[in-house]
Amino acid sequence: MTRTATEIGRGLAPARKARPIRAGERIHVVGAAGAGASAAVLLAHRAGAHVSGCDPGAPSPYSAAIEAVGITLERQHSPLHVRVADGVPPERLAVTKALTAVDPDHPELVAARDMGIPAEPWQQVIADAAATGAQALVAVAGTHGKSTTGGWLVDLLVRAGRDPSAFVGALLDPALTGGVASTARWGEGSVFVAEADEYAGNFDAYQPGTIVLLNAEWDHPDVFADEEAVLRAFETWIRRAPDATLVANVGDAGVSRIVELLEPWSGHLVTVALDGNAQLVGRATMSESGTTLAVGDHSYRVGLVGPANAANAIAVVGAALALGVDEEALRLSLAQFAGVGRRLELKGEIGGVIVLDDYGHHPTAIARTLEAVRTRYPERRLWAVYEPLTYHRTALLLDRFAEVLATADEVAVADIWAGRDPDTTITSAQALADAVTRRGVARAVAPGSVERTADHLAERVRSGDVVLVMGGGRSYVIASRLVELLRAR
CA distance linking residue 147 with residue 360, whole number of Å: 11
The answer to whether residues 171 and 104 belong to one domain is: no
Q: How many angstroms separate the most distant Cα atoms in the chain?
A: 66
User: For residue 129, is it within any domain?
Assistant: no
The secondary structure of residue 201, as a DSSP letter, is G
Note whether residue 418 is domain-resident.
yes
CATH number, domain at 228?
Answer: 3.40.1190.10
**Which residues lie below 8 Å from residue 7, measured CB to CB, with a gap of 6+?**
none
Residue 15 in any domain: the answer is: yes
Residue 130 included in any domain = no
| Domain presence at residue 150 | yes
CATH number at residue 451: 3.90.190.20
pLDDT of residue 6: 59
The tally of CA atoms less than 13 A away on the side-chain side of residue 76 is: 3
Q: What is the CATH number of the domain that holds 37?
A: 3.40.50.720
Residue 372 lies in a domain: yes
Looking at the structure, do residues 72 and 105 belong to the same domain, yes or no? yes
pLDDT at 489: 84
Same structural domain for residues 234 and 382? no
DSSP annotation of 448 reads E
Do 66 and 73 touch, CB atoms closer than 8 A? yes
Distance CA 324, CA 471 (A): 36
Say what the pLDDT of residue 276 is. 82
Expressed as residue numbers, the domain containing 206 is: 135-336
Q: Residue 391 falls within a domain, yes or no?
A: yes
Q: Are residues 325 and 356 in the same domain?
A: no
* Residue 166 and residue 106 share a domain: no
Clarify whether residues 253 and 291 are in a common domain.
yes
Same structural domain for residues 159 and 12? no
66 is a domain residue: yes
The SS3 call for residue 294 is: strand
Of how many residues is the chain composed?
A: 489
Asked whether the whole model's pTM tops 0.85, one would answer yes
Is residue 259 located within the same domain as residue 282?
Answer: yes
Of 312, 336, 360, which residue sits at a domain end?
A: 336
pLDDT attached to residue 4: 66
List, in order, residues 6 or more apart from 152 with CB less than 8 Å away: 312, 313, 316, 333, 337
- 258, 111: one domain: no
Domain boundary pick from 336, 363, 381 = 336
**Model pLDDT, residue 2:** 67
Point out the domain boundary residue: 124, 143, 160. Answer: 124
pLDDT at 421: 76
Q: Are 144 and 62 found together in one domain?
A: no
Domain count along the chain: 3
In a 10 Å sphere around its CB, with 0-12 CB exposed, 13-18 middle and 19+ buried, how is residue 48 labelled? middle
Give yes or no: residues 91 and 168 share one domain. Answer: no
Instruction: Give the Cα separation of 117 and 25 in Å (integer).
Output: 13
Instruction: Check residue 190 and give its pLDDT.
Output: 98
HSE-CB for 24 with a 13 A CA cutoff: 1
pLDDT per residue rounded down to tens, the chain (489 residues): 566 665 667 778 899 999 999 999 999 999 999 999 999 999 999 999 999 999 998 999 999 999 999 999 999 999 999 987 567 899 999 998 878 877 878 999 999 999 999 999 999 999 999 999 999 999 999 999 999 999 999 999 999 999 999 999 999 999 999 889 999 999 999 999 999 999 989 999 999 999 999 999 999 888 899 999 999 999 999 999 999 999 999 999 999 999 999 999 999 999 999 988 999 999 999 876 679 999 999 999 999 988 999 999 999 999 999 999 999 999 999 999 999 998 899 999 999 999 999 999 999 999 999 999 998 999 999 999 999 999 999 999 999 999 999 999 999 999 999 877 778 899 999 999 999 999 988 999 999 999 999 999 999 999 999 999 999 889 999 999 999 999 998
176 and 93 fall within a common domain: no
